[in-house]
Structure 1
Amino acid sequence: MSDIHPLILCGGSGTRLWPLSRAHQPKQFQPINGEGSLTFFQSTVQRHRSDLFSDPIVCVGSRHVQTVGRQLREIQSKAHIITEPVARNTGPAVLAASLYLAGAKPDAVLVVLPSDHVIKGELNRLIAQMHDAALDGLVVTFGIQPSYAEKGYGYIMDGGRFDQYPGLHRVESFIEKPSTTIAQSLIDTGFAYWASGISMFRASKLISEYQRHDPATFAHVQAALQSASPLETEAGLLLDERHFMKAENQPTEKAVFERCKDIALAPAAIEWDDVGGWTSLHAIGMKNESGNVTSGDVVLFDTRGSLIRGGERLVAVVGMNDVVVVDTDDALLVTNKSSAQDVKRIVEHLVTLKRREAENHRSQVTEWGRIKSMQAGPGFAMDLLSIDSGKTVTLVGEEGVSRTLAVIHGRLQLVGDHTQSELTPGLSAMVAIGKEARLVNTADTPAEVIEISCGNASALGLSGQSLAAIAADVRAADYA
């Protein structure tokens, strides 16, 4: 059974969960139940850690490789990371993982898992039950009994039971995101299931289906894997962009499943939600006697049926029903639940305005600690760097930009070109224009330092981008 390999897909931007989810820190890497809880991605990894499964394979865009590595280490999980240089939807990513695995284990079975869903129930028991069918060459899709007519989901129509595989059904057809009226008519038949995005198959089966239905994409992804390079800081590889970008930009369902004769449906009696917006988080959250779901520092009075998510400050809500209030360190969202799906319009507007809040949080977790943007403008940026014990921050040299560092807590070593000095609270140092330096925390406690970057606007960017933020991989290739 350990030849079942979880394949966790980490694409997507989750714009409907703004301001929690942003382009550089999307939904799957955010905590489900507030600060200190597991992220959606970590919860997915933990759900499938047992003797039933091998170490997971994680497919992620190059922008988020460091985040994946850090969050895996936080839960002490090993994984094989396949990095996509550009986004090409789920199909090429799943094919790349299948090729990667089939080289050593042709009969190994993959179970494909979106990283941003919330699931409760015995999914793993059903996966184990479907193992023989997958080994025999069936492509198993997992369907959810629909509880309402959702027009944003795909539907799988039940084509009747398999005699030789208990619990497994044939697929009559796939229906992609029907209107609400049609969705209700499908549900009324009693044979419709929501498509969960979870599937299971032998690696060699997925490869053969791609060779049959899209040989060009197969060739491009195979070449991208053959020319892949090892990751510098994580266990895994980076697919070759020249070849991967030529793959057809399609989900696995359209590229393979809808064309496959050996497709099957496993109805899953589980609680499932793809958390497509704030109303979903309210629906799955732990409610108090007034139907409210809260996290953080929150005080409510005469408020019912609401989701209130606090941040660093107190959030007080009085006399409101069915609202969503989400507070972060640099943005506050207030909406009624009926309009919560329109949050993506706010994000689209912020993008047109080139607002930083569409892309980044003011605070960013890094491999070495945390960066918090204090103030920024044309030609300057001031940031608070919190550096964990034993960690090193590399401040990348940038033409036309100088930096001043002032320690406010802890003890740091500043290492530059043939120089080294100790910085303690009250002391400051300057890093000359274009020079690289390293801040090393050799103490047993975290250190905090103010970094002030000054230079021409073109060097720093219109918003005054932090040089430490650049070192934290903010300049990595775009992936959405």
Structure 2
Amino acid sequence: MLTSVVPVILSGGAGTRLWPMSRRLRPKQFLPLMEDGSSLFRATLERVKADDFLAPIVMCNHNHRFLVAEELNEAGVSARGIIIEPVARNTAPAIATAALHVLADDPDGLIFVLPSDHMISDFAAFRSATRIAARLAMEELLVIFGIEPEYPETGYGYIRRGRVHGEGQRVAKFVEKPDQATAEAYVASREYYWNAGIFLFRARTFINQLRQHSPDVLFAAEQAIAQAASDADFLRLNKQAFEMAPSISVDYAVMEKTSQSAVVPLDGGWSDVGSWESLAKQGTTDDEGNVCIGGTVVIDSKNNYIRSEKPLVAVLGIDDMALIATDDAVLAMPRSRTQEVKSIVAELEAHSREEIISHTRVYRPWGYYQNVDSGAGFLVKQIFVKPGGKLSMQYHNHRAEHWVVVEGIARVTNGEETFDMSANQSTYIPIGTKHRLENPSDEPLRIVEVQTGNMISEDDIVRLEDTYGRD
């Protein structure tokens, strides 16, 4: 039993290569990509719920904090801490902060660093590799998990295996993402693993190596956690201190420089779900090699990945393509170029397109809202409030709202009045009037909201009081 292993779940990634499904406010780790409809984040939690592990630490950003809290709640997991990174600084500062957090309580503590957005299908193999890694870590080694390459992938880093050490191997060399010819040579040599980005080591071993090889990262992490502030269920790192850290991966900061690294093979059906092609490889194909998800019609087409989240997608006479449709965007490309989706996202960002930031359905700690229609001076939304959910007490300077209850019981504050409404009842909220929506029942609440005014924007919200501590 590995009773002193603390999982550290890294959940700060944006998952841009899985656009248009993955977006800044709800990236790939929170999307229902598993076969059972659960998220990659939830699958990561399930892997570390066993008695071998202590309560996890989750590293995330401000925008994802309530998504993390909701996933933990639904999984029945009490976190050791949810640590908010005020700015993105890559993996080395994030891991340093978590290691310091553990080290403060346990000088011998082991930390198990896991990305929140990977698939691992063989749980038994995962547990076995973890136990081996823990035994090596107790020898003051920094252990990384390696994946036996199945094909010459150019989107992964590689690890050249060295001499045998106990149940693992020492690391001879880390190499960055290679070109196609180099990747083919690595796979043919049988001397290399894919770098899974999963680590296990003593917190103190990592901190000591960080002090030697990247002291600027350590200094910023120490200052950020020393000046951190508690905020409800979250620990907010000091922004000014954390910003001093260079944006650097743990590979560059420590693993490529240390002489104390080891690698343990993980034969567990691993995928980093880093592109639509990697998802296609996980899918079930039809007789023509097509992977089809959602409403699709496919005729005379082969070896395609076709996924629809809402509209019907019909294809005729196309081969080797990836086509992904959401309710507000469509992406089409050759399957051989799915690693290049970041260039699409960069182009959209240059044009300030909302489609890279949020979906039409936007999640909040109380539930979600979904934009239905909009035009000059109006916006129509569906608002879903989970049982016990409560929106902030607020008012707007530039818009009025009309609420119609579709399902459930709504407790409404409208000016100085508070009253309940049920299906087919409505209320009008004038500009500048304080108001609040609550769900006092055990059943879901669904309303239709019509906004009208000369400025229709989420920026036009003045919060007077909020249950969830939002500004």
Task: Give the TM-score normalised by structure 2.
Answer: 0.91
Instruction: Determine the structure 2 residue equivalent to 1:94.
Output: 95
- TM-superposed deviation, 1:70: 0.9
RMSD of Structure 2 on Structure 1 (CA): 2.7
Aligned to 1:124: 127
What is the Cα deviation at residue 95 of structure 1?
A: 0.5
Cα pair distance change 1:408/1:465, threshold 3 Å: farther
The within-5 A match list for 1:50-449 is 50-79=50-79, 80-121=81-122, 122-162=125-165, 165-166=166-167, 168-232=168-232, 234=233, 236-377=234-375, 379-394=377-392, 396-449=394-447
Aligned partners of 2:338 and 2:252: how far apart in 1?
A: 29
State the 1:289 CA deviation: 3.5
- Give yes or no for contact 2:369–2:381 (8 Å, CA) kept in 1: yes
Confirm or deny: 8 A CA contact 1:63 1:476 kept in the other structure. no
- In structure 2, the CA distance between the partners of 1:476 and 1:170, relative to structure 1 (3 Å rule), is farther
State how far apart, in whole Å, the 1-side matches of 2:235 and 2:71 are: 18
What secondary structure is seen at the aligned counterpart in 2 of 1:5?
strand
Q: 1:414 to 1:15 in 2, by over 3 A?
A: same
Deviations 1:328-370 (A, max 9, x none): 2222233332333333332222222222111111012333222
Equivalent pair of 1:394/1:468 in contact (CA under 8 Å) = no
Choose between structure 1 and 2 for higher RCO, CA contacts under 8 A separated by at least 6 residues: 1
Figure out how many residues of one structure are paired with residues of the other and give that number. 467
Q: Distance in 1 between matches of 2:434 and 2:89?
A: 35
On the 8 A contact 1:209/1:260 being kept in 2, the answer is: yes
Name the CA distance, whole Å, in 1 between partners of 2:364 and 2:72: 13
Which digits, 9 at most, give the CA deviation of each residue in 1:299-329, with x for residues without a partner?
4444432222232344444444333232222
- 3-state DSSP of counterpart to 2:341: helix
CA–CA distance in structure 1, aligned partners of residues 268 and 409 of structure 2: 51
Report if aligned partners of 2:395, 2:462 keep a CA contact under 8 Å in 1.
Answer: no
**1:271 to 1:409, Cα distance in 2 relative to 1, 3 A:** closer
Unmatched 5+ stretches in structure 1: none
Counterpart CA distance in 1 for 2:451 and 2:141 is: 58
TM-superposed CA distance for 1:372, in Å, is 0.5
Partner AA of 1:194 in structure 2:
W
SS at match of 2:155: coil
3-state SS of paired residue (1:95) = helix
Matched-pair contact (CA < 8 Å) for 2:25–2:357: yes
Q: Which amino acid aligns with 1:223?
A: Q
Between the aligned partners of 1:292 and 1:26, the Cα distance in structure 2 is: 25
TM-aligned CA deviation for residue 398 of structure 1: 3.5
Give 3-state SS (helix, strand or coil) of 1:248's partner. coil
Counterparts of 1:93 and 1:107 in 2: how far apart (Å)?
20
Q: Whole-Å Cα distance in 1 between the matches of residues 340 and 189 of structure 2?
A: 31
For residues 385 and 271 of structure 1, do their structure 2 counterparts lie closer, same or farther at Cα, with a shift above 3 Å needed?
same
| Segment of structure 1 superposing worse, 237-246 or 269-278 | 269-278
Percent identity over the alignment is 33
User: Aligned in 2, Cα 1:375/1:395: closer, same or farther, shift over 3 Å?
Assistant: farther
The alignment partner of 1:21 has SS state of coil
How far residue 81 of structure 1 moved from its aligned partner, in angstroms, is 1.0
List gaps (5 residues or longer) in structure 2.
Answer: none
Cα offset, 1:9, TM superposition: 0.6
The normalised TM-score by structure 1 is 0.90
Matched letter for residue 14 of structure 2: S
Q: Secondary structure at the match of 1:329?
A: coil
Q: Which segment drifts farther, 140-149 or 61-70?
A: 140-149
Which digits, 9 at most, give the CA deviation of each residue in 1:422-469, with x for residues without a partner?
A: 233343323343444221122343222222333443xx44xx768599
CA contact (8 A) 2:155 2:339 kept: no
Equivalent residues of 1:381, 1:466 under 8 A apart: no
Q: Does 272-281 or 81-90 show the bigger shift?
A: 272-281
Distance 1:144 1:337 in 2: 23
Q: Is the CA contact (8 Å cut-off) linking 1:395 and 1:467 kept in structure 2? A: no
2 CA distance for matches of 1:158 and 1:446? 54
Query: Could you tell me how far 1:420 is from its partner in structure 2?
Result: 0.7
How far apart, in 1, do the equivalents of 2:287 and 2:72 lie? Answer: 36
**1:53 match: secondary structure:** coil
Letter in 2 for 1:19: P
- AA aligned to 2:17 is R
Is contact 1:307-1:324 (8 Å) kept? yes
Deviations 1:136-157 (CA, angstroms, capped at 9, x unpaired): 2100111111222222221111
